[in-house]
Copies of this chain bind each other. A is one copy, B any other.
C-alpha cells in the first residue's frame, strides 16, 4: 500500500502530526506500507524550508525514501526559491494536482 500525507496548513501542531505520521508509516511493524509521499503547500511549506524547525525530520524522511514535494505555486506567492528548501525536496507545479495524481495512482490520503 502507498500513502500520501498532505500538509496544507500553517498550524504547527498539525504539521508535527503530519511528519510523525509519515515517520510512523515508515516504521509500520506489519510492513504493509510500500511507499510514502508528503506534499507541502500553503502554510505547510514551512515544514520543508531549510531555515525551519523541522529540517532534521524532513532530512530523515528523505533518507528513508519518502518522496517530499513542495508546491511551486506557493513558493511563488511566498517569494521563495527551490534553494530555500531542504535539499532533496522536489517541487511540483501545484500541490493539489500532485495529491490528486497520487490518489489517482492508488495512494491513500491522510490529512493531519
Residues of A within 8 A of B (CB): 1, 3, 5-6, 8-10, 13-14, 17, 20-21, 24-25, 28-30, 32-33, 41-43, 73, 93-94, 96-97, 99-101, 103-104, 108-112
Contact = CB atoms under 8 A, between A and B. Distances in A.
Contacts of A112: 8-9, 42
29 contacts: A1-B101, A1-B104, A8-B17, A8-B112, A9-B13, A9-B17, A10-B13, A13-B43, A17-B43, A21-B41, A21-B96, A24-B73, A24-B96, A25-B94, A25-B96, A25-B100, A28-B94, A28-B97, A29-B93, A32-B97, A33-B97, A33-B100, A42-B112, A96-B110, A100-B108, A104-B108, A109-B109, A109-B110, A111-B111
Contacts of A42: 17, 20, 112
Nearest to A31: B97
A5 B109 CA distance: 12
The interface centre, meaning the residue of A5, A6, A97 with most chain B CB atoms within 10 A of its CB, is: A97
